[in-house]
Amino acid sequence: MMKTNSGTVRAMIVFSIVWVANVAPPSARAATTYYVSSSSGSDARDGRAPDRAWKHLWKIYMKSISRIPFQPGDNILLKRGDQWDGQICLQANGLPQTPVTISAYGDGPKPLLNGELQQVQWEPAFHFAGIYTTDTGVGSVLGSIFLDGQHLRTIFPLKSVKRDSDLAVFLTTLQSGTLAGQFASRLWLRTSNGPPNEQVRIFRLAGISLRNSSYVRIENLDIERFQTGIDIENSQQVTVRHNDIQDVLGIGIYLRLEDSDCLVESNTVFRSGNTALYVLKGSRNTFRDNWVSHVEKQILGLNVGGDKMGVGLQESQHTLVEYNYFTRSGGMDFYYERGSTVRYNYLYSVSSAGAPHGVDLEVYGNIYNLGKAGGKPGSVGVNAVATGPGTISVFNNTIFNASKFFLMGSANNRGRVVFFDNIAAATIPGSALTTYGASVTSNHNCFFAPGEPVFIRSKTTLLSLAAYQTNSGLDRDSVFADPRFISKEPLTPLDFRITSSSGCNSQASPIPFANSADDRTYDHDRQISNSPVIGALRVDSTAGPVHAVTQFCRSDCFNHSFTVPNGVYLVRLKFEAGSRNRTSEFRFFLNGRKMVADSQPSVLVDSNAPSQDFLVRPDKNSITLDADNGIDTSVVTEVEIRPFDTSHGGGLQVLSW
């Protein structure tokens, strides 16, 4: 699991002390709306109307630490279409019916916050040869500094450096190529070959840093090129909704420490480093309807560390993770988690399904589509580890084309792991369908793999379901049968539906869990009559292939609307052979959101005719593609619009898939 940088923690502590010392308690008054515009604002104004908007984000920070800070019901609105090189640091306390809100106003793209410092002006530190300094701006908290691609550790003085003697002591500790120094907004760097140049890259800590707050809403922002997208600590009842996080070196949305009753909903995280979504030592927090794509080892050309997971739950309790999509990332990771629930999530082409690790956990209604191109096995399956007294229950999941193992479980310290009503199916032989240790109960599952199946119980390998049942006493009522998903090559959640002719259907009947059959499957919110339960989706005798309702466009596909019912759709752009050699990227707008098809072809299509996929949930029952200025649309030979899923959230949402 993730290790927090000590320098970053110290910076946060400094800011927390400043905030706590200066913020006055809320007073009763009418709510106020404050406007901020980088294009038309002025910091000399009061910010209380669009034509009196502030210009810089530091005005928000200064207001939050003033004697009259933001009050319950106040709105802080950033102008759509505007961009800022900066971050928002805030402490605020609203009330249940009157939260403090950070959002957007006007028309156009979401307000953009950019976290990488641009055109940094370095100057020599007086009397200190080889040391250069720059001012990063009021309210800035730095996250990462890189020199020639190597990460520099940042150190902070233990006391003020306003006196020359104290500054001298501090600067002597700086080492060229390894350490940088920061105090307040001032940064120092020692070099061996003159002033720092473009080889030094500096990233602010977070687009939004919220501390010691309650009843705050953060919504409708575009946050790019930070260490962390949104960073929340020691706060309660915070809602983070409809934000787009992109190109962050570390965590996309981070409930850092002691956060409770927070809702992270309907956000997108595209290209993050450590982990897309993370909670550390929190209580009763919810991650719902977030779309995550590309959690990678390298961001913006820089090597970054971390777990590379979709969502990380560490030493928290009663966390709820539901209706999220993960692709090109890790899966759902746990570390000494207690009483949490993970349900109704879809994972596609991930590097790890995730390991429920802790006590009293429930994992159900999830679809793990783990295979690689050509139906090859991808990541390992679900590995449940009970770390103490209590039960981990893994039921009504569908796990497809895992590598090494599908279901793995073990327990210690009087714990127990239970597997029920899952479908574990492969199209290529070799992976173990079960790998069970002590204190594991398993029954009522449907297993399938071509050729000779593999089951492992306490390190003993058994090559048939019957031999495994006799040897272990487990899975007495389970079956070995082809589930016959409605698609032979499942791509979307809808492709994993099974009909009454499925071999798994023989075992579809209620199971002894407290959850009723109506809410334990991925499609629990759909009305299906006479629907037995097996795997993540109920048996649906009316289910038909998704391709039957897919739309295709092979000419004049741009500046054109496609009418669609309510739901989530996969939009695939196919390019003519060799076209990607002529241009490195294809820029276009998908329902108003600017997207880029990069030079890497989809793994699902012949590389000679590359394609790229995008997810969209339209807000007006139509999908529209518009080319960016100067883009040759003739290189797109086909646009395919395929139903992906029913809608589990509201509002427009778009992501490169």
CB distance 558 to 571 below 8 Å: no
Highest mean pLDDT among 183-192, 287-296, 406-415, 542-551: 287-296
Residue 529's pLDDT is 60
Whether 603 has a pLDDT exceeding 70, the answer reads no
- Closest by CA to 368, choosing from 397, 393, 395, 343, is 397
Residue 241's pLDDT is 98
Whether 607 has a pLDDT exceeding 70, the answer reads no
Whether 78 has a pLDDT exceeding 60, the answer reads yes
User: In whole angstroms, what is the distance from residue 31 CA to residue 215 CA?
Assistant: 14
CB distance 308 to 328 below 8 Å: no
CB distance 397 to 363 below 8 Å: yes
Residue 50's pLDDT is 98
Kindly report the three-state secondary structure assignment for every residue of 329-341. Answer: CCCEEEECEECCE
Find the range with the poorest average confidence among 215-229, 254-268, 371-385: 371-385
Scanning 436-570, the segments in alpha helix (DSSP H) are 465-472
In this prediction, residue 579 has a pLDDT band, given cuts at 50, 70 and 90, of low
Q: Are strands 390-395 and 361-364 parallel, antiparallel or unpaired?
A: parallel
| Arithmetic mean of pLDDT, 218-230 | 98
User: In whole angstroms, what is the distance from residue 497 CA to residue 541 CA?
Assistant: 10
Residue 528's pLDDT is 63
DSSP 581: G
Residue 93 corresponds to which amino acid? N
User: In whole angstroms, what is the distance from residue 494 CA to residue 517 CA?
Assistant: 19
pLDDT tens-digit readout, 323-368:
999 999 999 999 999 999 999 999 999 999 999 999 999 999 999 9
Phi/psi for 350 (5° steps) reads: -100, 160
Pick the CATH number of 550-656 from 2.60.120, 2.40.33, 2.40.50, 2.60.40: 2.60.120
pLDDT tens-digit readout, 18-65:
444 445 555 567 899 999 999 999 999 999 999 999 999 999 999 999
- Name the more confident of 607 and 375: 375
pLDDT tens-digit readout, 279-336:
999 999 999 999 999 999 999 999 998 899 999 999 999 999 999 999 999 999 999 9
- Report how far Cα 512 is from the mean position of its chain's Cα atoms: 33
* 343 sits in which H/E element: strand 341-343
Whether 533 has a pLDDT exceeding 60, the answer reads yes
Whether 424 has a pLDDT exceeding 90, the answer reads yes
Give, in order, the Cα–Cα distances in Å from 150 to each of 96, 153, 299, 369: 45, 10, 13, 36
Residue 315's pLDDT is 98
Residue 531's pLDDT is 64
| Arithmetic mean of pLDDT, 593-616 | 71
Mean confidence (pLDDT) of the chain: 89
| Arithmetic mean of pLDDT, 407-436 | 93
Residue with tokens 């369908």: 433
CB distance 187 to 180 below 8 Å: yes
Each as own residue / partner, the long-range contacts of residues 625-628 (CB below 8 Å, 24 or more positions apart, any chain) are: 625/557, 625/558, 625/559, 625/560, 625/571, 625/588, 625/589, 625/590, 626/558, 626/559, 626/588, 626/589, 627/558, 627/559, 627/587, 627/588, 627/589, 628/587, 628/588, 628/589, 628/594
Residue 14's pLDDT is 42
Structure tokens at 354: 């995730």
Domain ranges of the chain: 123-203, 338-548, 550-656
Residue 304's pLDDT is 94
pLDDT tens-digit readout, 169-196:
999 999 888 899 988 888 999 988 888 8
DSSP 603: T
Find the range with the poorest average confidence among 495-499, 577-581, 589-593: 577-581
Residue 464's pLDDT is 95
DSSP 155-220: E--SS---SHHHHHHHHTT--TTTEEEEETTEEEEE-SSSS--TTEEEEESEEEEEES-EEEEEES
Find the range with the poorest average confidence among 150-159, 246-255, 282-291, 432-441: 150-159
Kindly report the three-state secondary structure assignment for every residue of 219-233. Answer: ECCEEECCCEEEEEE
pTM confidence score? 0.92
| Percentages of the chain per state (helix, strand, coil), in multiples of 5 | 10, 40, 50
- Closest by CA to 3, choosing from 340, 301, 368, 250, is 250
User: In whole angstroms, what is the distance from residue 333 CA to residue 384 CA?
Assistant: 10
DSSP 634: G
End-to-end CA distance of the chain: 25
* 64 sits in which H/E element: helix 58-64
User: In whole angstroms, what is the distance from residue 128 CA to residue 170 CA?
Assistant: 11
- Name the more confident of 489 and 19: 489
Strand partners, 317: 283, 338
| Arithmetic mean of pLDDT, 411-430 | 92
Residue 12's pLDDT is 41
Q: Are strands 186-190 and 75-79 parallel, antiparallel or unpaired?
A: unpaired
Tell me the percentage of the chain whose pLDDT exceeds 70: 89
E strand spans, 495-536: 533-534
Residue 79's pLDDT is 98
- 356 burial class (0-12, 13-18, 19+ CB within 10 angstroms)? buried
- Closest by CA to 657, choosing from 636, 638, 642, is 642
In this prediction, residue 582 has a pLDDT band, given cuts at 50, 70 and 90, of low
